[in-house]
Structure 1
Amino acid sequence: MKTSLGHLTYCSNIHPGEKWPEHFQILQDNLPAIRQHLAPDQPFALGLRLAHEASLDLSSPERLLEFKNWLRDNNLYVFTMNGFPYGGFHNTHVKDQVHAPDWTTTERTEYSKRLFSILAQLLPEGMDGGVSTSPLSYRFWWNSDEKLKEAIQQATLNVIEVVDYLIEIRKETGKVLHLDIEPEPDGVLENSVEFVNWYRDVLLPMGVPYLQEKHGFPAPHAKEAILNHIRLCFDVCHVAVAFEEPEDVLNRLDTVGIKVGKIQISSAIKLDLQENQSQKINAIRTFDEPVYLHQVVAKKVDGSLEKFKDLPEAISQWTEDSSDEWRVHFHVPLFIDTYGELQSTQNEIVKTLSLQKQLPFTNHLEIETYTWGVLPSDMQKPIGDSIIRELEWVIQTIKGDK
């Protein structure tokens, strides 16, 4: 839906369904009622997540036409898609495999191009559209600096291939589509510093000459094409876990002229360990579950940061008075700021939306809370009600009621 800060939606990765028919059925069961509750008199947006299999299904002209007609009939529209998880994302052991296949592979490249082909046909006229994606690869799959450098080079070549594809889509349709790369803890690009460094020192030096040769662009035109088509996915949870300040992230992007494709509105768990440490460590144990990675970044007493691949590792290595604060990569509900002994990084969302209000840096806002099924049982609610509560909280925050 349209808000004063841009188009607001929620990401359908909250729903299971790796094949299109089952995912579409869940959307049909939920979206009309959510729209009727929140925006009965205006178009309502959907942030569409398509797994690889679902993207193949929806590439069928008949199925795509059926979906477009359903969107029209229900006053719904799609402006952003989530292309990060390629395969199974629910009821399976995801962990680091959320990055697979990574950007070093043809599979990831072709999947992303397929999503853009679908989005180009769904996107309303006059809007730009984005597909969020992984931060190139998972850092710990590469066991030497040399292997990591080779992986980054190959991944960057594949990203440039997608830029080339998006240039052609723009020529054919006039629509500006962008790949929104999402830094994540333990990704090859895990924070805004690494993202900007890669963009400036690898992507632009490789991409500008490629586009000059391929399209005959002058260097400034080639750079502008890359800046238009490759953007940052500003995931508030990930920024918070990295202990980055939202304003610093935006200032860092500005040094190169990088755009933000979308804000993923999400919240992490925070542990203030300056008191009641053992009680809080016991409380975070209830969030240790086997599906997703829950990377932990600990701010030590001396102010330095210590990183852990997953929650069990952080818990097992915890010692009394070793850290002042933990931030845990666990996408918890936005509308809750305390969980007994624990807190959330909800205030980072408030800060980010305040910056968006002062000087808009994107037109796309997408709620991404996908861990409902693995939350402690006392936090689980019917999915439609939970989505409505998330959206209502963001709308109230935008209006300044929070």
Structure 2
Amino acid sequence: MRLRHPDGTPVHLAYCSNVHQAEDLDGVLTQLAAYAEPVRERLGVDRLGIGLWLARDIVTELVGDERALGRLKSELGARGLETVTLNAFPYSGFHREVVKKDVYLPDWTHQARLDYTLDCARVLTALLPDDARRGSVSTLPLAWRTPWPAERANTARRALDRLAAGLAALERETGRPVRVGFEPEPGCVVETTAQAVRELGGLDPERLGICLDACHLAVQFEDPGAALARLAAAGLPVVKVQASCAVEAVDPADPAARAALGRLAEPRFLHQTRTRLAAQGSWDASGVRGEGAARGVGPRIPRQRGVAAGEEADGTGFAYGTWHPNGPGGSGGARQSDRQPGGSPDGPRSVKTPIGYGALPDGTILGVDDLPDALAGGLPADRGPWRVHFHAPLHAEPEPPLRTTASQLTAVLAELLGGPVAGCDHIEVETYTWSVLPRPPADLAGGIAAELAWARDRLTGLGLKEETS
């Protein structure tokens, strides 16, 4: 769907095809017929945006075979679909039985990631509608946070310079500009907007920027207005917004909430979980981020007995470890499964002596890498809400007493598009978790259509006008 901002900017609204299990071209074309076209028909629109996820093997075929590329473009047009954005975060195998941290491979220290991203951009230049101003490609935020010594960071930075040069050359060749957006995600080298400024600042803003995932922003308890102001001040454009919602347990000690969370703790995808401290307690620093994480622009957070806490621009911090509900020396805190300290070249370490978390100020974010770790005792259940990286349908509430962070997504859209100037022109609904919901829908096309209608209504409520072809 297309909408127009009051300043005249065309805004593209799409849904992401990574919800569909297809890793060859025939499979992609089948999904366009089975789901994307029915979604368009449910919405009653002549033209529907689809953000394609094309696995590495498909992209290789499309780059090397003009007939295959023409076949995909023809199918999109025949079914009333258009593509202005690609999701190049997953490389392949996104619907394997177990994905978890493999989704971050290869990362930006590997040539394969650069090659794949540039190939995706090349494919997109051929798929873009003739009147589209530009295309966008989203990618991972450099790598999983561990290990991340200086050598790997420098390798990634050189790859980003080559990426910008490659995009510029592609535009000269095709006349079609494509921007790449790095998507901050919990647990990665870049998981917050403050880290984005630190790690990605100074890149070519004409080619590179941020893909802002509203679910990830909510999981990290970031304020949308402050986050977007931080990016703007650093000259990092929002290339693309992924319209998504996290799951929140307001009272994670509630047995009903824990039971509902347990039904979301499935084996395929990683569900990073965070809480924000609001009271006294004790916390074990096992597995906390290493010294590489303790850099920031806000007030320094005290470290005691090996704790290394990251700092955010608003003065809050974050750390990884194990919560001890019975206080210093208490038992009952399960250890986190991933104990590798980010930024440390020396491998895993364990700080076995719990510290009073009064050493960490209110507002500190505590995190574990997966929901089962939190449920096993890795996070406090009585000191604040939990937010879970589980992309929940935009239009529907999860099992009570859980809720979604839809209000945060609404705030993100308002900050970007509710003012006199459009802050982004590509919006992609990205709920890839339909198949792992406790009750997967019998009518997937109907659910996707309902999500897009929800997003469209929020945008028109901000003054955007829906366009008809």
Q: 2:458 aligns with which of 391, 394, 397?
A: 397
Q: 1:23 aligns with which of 17, 22, 28?
A: 28
* 1:287 matched residue in structure 2: 264
Aligned counterparts of 2:170 and 2:44: Cα–Cα separation in 1: 32
Aligned counterparts of 2:44 and 2:412: Cα–Cα separation in 1: 24
Aligned counterparts of 1:75 and 1:112: Cα–Cα separation in 2: 26
**2:364 maps to 1:387:** no
**2:191 maps to 1:131:** no
User: Shift of the alpha carbon at 1:329?
Assistant: 0.2
* 1:33 matched residue in structure 2: 38
* 1:188 matched residue in structure 2: 189
**2:43 maps to 1:48:** no
* 1:117 matched residue in structure 2: 122
- Residue 199 of structure 1 aligns to which amino acid in structure 2? L
**2:90 maps to 1:85:** yes
In structure 1, the residue corresponding to 2:391 is in which secondary structure? Answer: strand
CA displacement, residues 264-286 of structure 1 (integer Å, 9 cap, x when unaligned): 00000001128x63332222111
**2:2 maps to 1:2:** yes
* 1:223 matched residue in structure 2: none
CA displacement, residues 294-330 of structure 1 (integer Å, 9 cap, x when unaligned): 0001112233210101011111115775421110000
CA displacement, residues 327-351 of structure 1 (integer Å, 9 cap, x when unaligned): 0000011112352111110111111
Aligned counterparts of 1:387 and 1:370: Cα–Cα separation in 2: 10
In structure 2, the residue corresponding to 1:292 is in which secondary structure? Answer: coil
In structure 2, the residue corresponding to 1:228 is in which secondary structure? Answer: coil
User: Shift of the alpha carbon at 1:395?
Assistant: 1.5
Structure 2 residues not aligned, in runs of 5+: 6-10, 280-362, 463-469
Return the structure number with greater helix share: 1
Which moves more between the two structures, 191-200 or 24-33? 24-33
User: Shift of the alpha carbon at 1:55?
Assistant: 1.1
CA pair 115-318 structure 1, distance change in 2 beyond 3 A: closer
* 1:163 matched residue in structure 2: 164
| Structure of higher RCO (CA pairs closer than 8 Å, 6+ residues apart) | 2
- Residue 333 of structure 1 aligns to which amino acid in structure 2? P
Aligned counterparts of 1:57 and 1:194: Cα–Cα separation in 2: 36
CA pair 273-164 structure 1, distance change in 2 beyond 3 A: same
**May I ask how many residue pairs the two structures share in their alignment?**
370
Q: 1:64 aligns with which of 49, 56, 69?
A: 69
CA displacement, residues 174-200 of structure 1 (integer Å, 9 cap, x when unaligned): 222111100000111111110111122
**2:277 maps to 1:271:** no
User: Shift of the alpha carbon at 1:25?
Assistant: 1.2
Aligned counterparts of 2:388 and 2:37: Cα–Cα separation in 1: 34
- Residue 245 of structure 1 aligns to which amino acid in structure 2? D
User: Shift of the alpha carbon at 1:133?
Assistant: 0.3
Aligned counterparts of 1:27 and 1:66: Cα–Cα separation in 2: 12
CA displacement, residues 22-77 of structure 1 (integer Å, 9 cap, x when unaligned): 1221112222222223243x322110100111212222211101111222223321
Aligned counterparts of 2:236 and 2:82: Cα–Cα separation in 1: 27
CA pair 321-307 structure 1, distance change in 2 beyond 3 A: closer
* 2:346 matched residue in structure 1: none
In structure 2, the residue corresponding to 1:130 is in which secondary structure? Answer: strand
* 2:418 matched residue in structure 1: 357
* 2:347 matched residue in structure 1: none
CA pair 381-357 structure 1, distance change in 2 beyond 3 A: farther
Aligned counterparts of 1:299 and 1:339: Cα–Cα separation in 2: 22
CA displacement, residues 212-258 of structure 1 (integer Å, 9 cap, x when unaligned): xxxxxxxxxxxxxx101111001000000010011111100111221
CA pair 400-112 structure 1, distance change in 2 beyond 3 A: same
CA pair 321-188 structure 1, distance change in 2 beyond 3 A: closer
* 2:294 matched residue in structure 1: none
1:243-392 equivalences under 5 Å are 243-273=221-251, 277-302=254-279, 303-317=363-377, 322-355=382-415, 356-358=417-419, 359-377=421-439, 379-392=440-453
CA displacement, residues 131-151 of structure 1 (integer Å, 9 cap, x when unaligned): 1000111113x0xxxx52221
8 Å CA contact retained: 2:368, 2:378: no
8 Å CA contact retained: 1:337, 1:346: no
8 Å CA contact retained: 1:337, 1:345: no
Question: Alignment identity in percent?
Answer: 32
Which moves more between the two structures, 147-156 or 286-295? 147-156
CA pair 197-388 structure 1, distance change in 2 beyond 3 A: same
Structure 1 residues not aligned, in runs of 5+: 208-225
- Residue 101 of structure 2 aligns to which amino acid in structure 1? D
CA pair 319-350 structure 1, distance change in 2 beyond 3 A: closer
Aligned counterparts of 1:4 and 1:117: Cα–Cα separation in 2: 27
- Residue 258 of structure 1 aligns to which amino acid in structure 2? L
Structure number with bigger Rg: 2
8 Å CA contact retained: 1:301, 1:322: no
- Residue 393 of structure 2 aligns to which amino acid in structure 1? P
CA pair 171-39 structure 1, distance change in 2 beyond 3 A: farther
Aligned counterparts of 2:404 and 2:35: Cα–Cα separation in 1: 27
